[in-house]
Chain A
Amino acid sequence: MEYKIVGHNILRVDGLAKVTGKATYPEDLYMEGMLYGKTLRSIKTHAYITVDTKEAEKIDGVIKIFTHKDIPHNYYGVLFKDHEVFCSKKVRRIGDPIAFVVAITEKIAEKAIKAITVEYDEIESVFDPVDAMKEDAPLIHDRSNILYHYKLRRGNIEEAFQQCSVIVENQYKTSMVDHAFLQPEAGLAYMEGDTVVVCAATQYPHFDQLEISEALNIPQEKVKIINPAVGGAFGGREDITLQIHLALATWVIGKPVKTVYSREESFVAHSKRHPMIMNYKTGADANGKLLAMEANIIGDTGAYASWAINIMRKAGVHATGPYEIPNVKVDSYAVYTNNPFAGAMRGFGAAQVPIAHEQQMDMLAEKLKIDPITFRLNNCFKLGSTTATGQVLEESVPLIQCIEAVRHKLNSKANDTEGV
């Protein structure tokens, strides 16, 4: 059968606009009489705040300065509504938004930001998620810092470890990672009759609409989101950054308002990849068959939950790697700290655990004196395998072919030496 698309080279629909420079990203939008918005952000990790905008408001060219007092419903968030649009009483991380200045030029907005005084009454911060799990740790929100605990149990690991002839036990840590998409956050909002329109590069336009309508306490049909060209995202644009600020400003002032983040502000404004602390114990019998695995995984979600629950669940589900292990015990946690908040990023929790499970595999193979590729082939998922969560893999599990292809490349002397 001949397909129209599969098997053919197809030009991207937006490719032409992008190679000619005509593609419109939000910062490329300009409107007559538009104003500029700038965000004042926390410079402390954990503190009660008192904000005074009086002097800043007197600056010529400042139209309005928005704070928590101006927002009808001061909360948002993809899973939990644990972010405030503008911090009211306390800040929980560096970069928490406190105020939004709207002025006739960007320069004046910047000047006004500097003229706002914020008094920080600092409270104890916690940066290590292990410390944050302790009883006496400072609370980031008005509830336990442990916001999620995922449990996976299969078979009986105690008995199985007794039967193992080799066991390796290690701790692995991964670091925080930023998406560093090339286009920093930008947006333009304007009124279209009595509807507020927000043009912003986002991964979640329909959800932005819902969040804006809730925060502003206006009907959803009065909010329109336009998603122009997006300069990369990789998960980093799933959480709201400037959308509510722009919508609020335009809704109140009635004029178009534009905001473009600098690279520095972009770094503090959006989520990060969850750093994880992974304690692994894995055992196999003398023939090189995996028998048991125990994993305890702690994910640092920073000051806000974002997608922590889905991500730490995914990390837990994928903790075994693509291997058949009859006895498994996994506990994974999402923990609040005063670090930058973590959320979606390529792989969504499945990218961290291979650091641990693959090194465990290498070490077991070494102890067993089995070649690491053979050891993996002996244990990897194939058609009909049952995963630790009880899923039976019924279709397309081409892992063995994949590993064989890697082995073939490794062995072939005629390697292409060019780096990636």
Chain B
Amino acid sequence: MKKINLKVNGVDYSVEIEEDVRLLDVLRNQLRLTGTKEGCGEGECGACTIIMDGVTVNSCMVMAFQAEGKEIITIEGMATKSGLHPIQRAFLEEGAVQCGFCIPGMVLSAKALLDKNLTPNREEIREAISGNLCRCTGYNKIVDAIDKASKYMGKEGDVNGI
């Protein structure tokens, strides 16, 4: 056992962990942030995508002890008190959500993209979500949603939602 310190969605946590667990296991089983999903356990599907120190990673491919001192954003950290994040709103409006299992990872990959590039073209959007599998939509509506989100976010002040 060992203690690690993490900041998740702006909250400081000090967590007692088994040394052989993954960051994904800590987020889900200990912090009960179950919005982060496990689809394959080997970095192929991207359902467990989180943002760690500003970049997306598969939380199934990070050992929990490696995350000591890291700042993490999960899907639970996207919406604010005043409403949905524009990316979430766009996903909802564009019908980009079906079974929903890939969505937390998709939204975070979209956020990582739009935080760096507010006017991506469709090729850049596809590249940004190339590590996230969706089995339902065929991706077009997801690309539409991220495109729409970029326009919402481009309008100053329009960061909150419904």
Residue positions of A touching B, CB distance < 8 A: 9, 11-12, 14-25, 27-28, 30, 179-184, 229-234, 260, 262-263, 418, 420
Contact = CB atoms under 8 A, between A and B. Distances in A.
Contact of A182 (B36, B133, B138, B140): B133
Contact of A183 (B42, B79, B95, B99): B99
Interface in B1-53: 28-29, 32-42, 45, 47
A14 B100 contact: yes
Given A18-B100, A231-B99, A231-B100, A182 B39 contact: yes
Nearest to A229: B100
A182 B41 contact: no
Contact of A23 (B32, B100, B122, B135): B100
Given A182-B101, A231-B99, A263-B39, A19 B84 contact: yes
Given A19-B84, A19-B107, A231-B37, A183 B92 contact: no
A11 to B, nearest CB: 6
Question: Which of A15, A25, A179, A420 has most chain B Cβ within 10 Å?
Answer: A15
Contacts of A9: 93, 95
Given A9-B93, A420-B138, A18 B39 contact: no
Contact of A15 (B76, B92, B122): B92
Determine chain B's interface SS by DSSP, over half rule. Answer: loop
A234 B79 CA distance: 30
Interface of B: 28-29, 32-42, 45, 47, 74-76, 78-79, 84, 88, 91-93, 95, 97-104, 107, 122, 133-136, 138-140
B103 A18 contact: yes
30 contacts: A11-B93, A15-B91, A15-B97, A18-B97, A19-B88, A19-B92, A19-B100, A20-B75, A20-B79, A20-B84, A21-B33, A21-B103, A21-B104, A25-B101, A27-B38, A28-B28, A30-B29, A30-B32, A181-B99, A181-B101, A182-B135, A229-B99, A231-B39, A232-B101, A232-B136, A233-B99, A260-B38, A263-B39, A263-B42, A420-B139
A229 B35 CA distance: 12
Given A181-B99, A231-B37, A21 B74 contact: yes
A178 B16 CA distance: 39
Nearest to B123: A418
Nearest to B132: A182
B36 A21 contact: yes
A75 to B, nearest CB: 31
A9 to B, nearest CB: 7
Contacts of A180: 135
Contacts of B98: 232
B135 A232 contact: yes
A182 B92 contact: no
Nearest to A10: B95
A181 B135 contact: yes
B37 A12 contact: no
A25 B37 contact: yes
A262 B99 contact: no
Given A19-B88, A182-B45, A12 B95 contact: yes
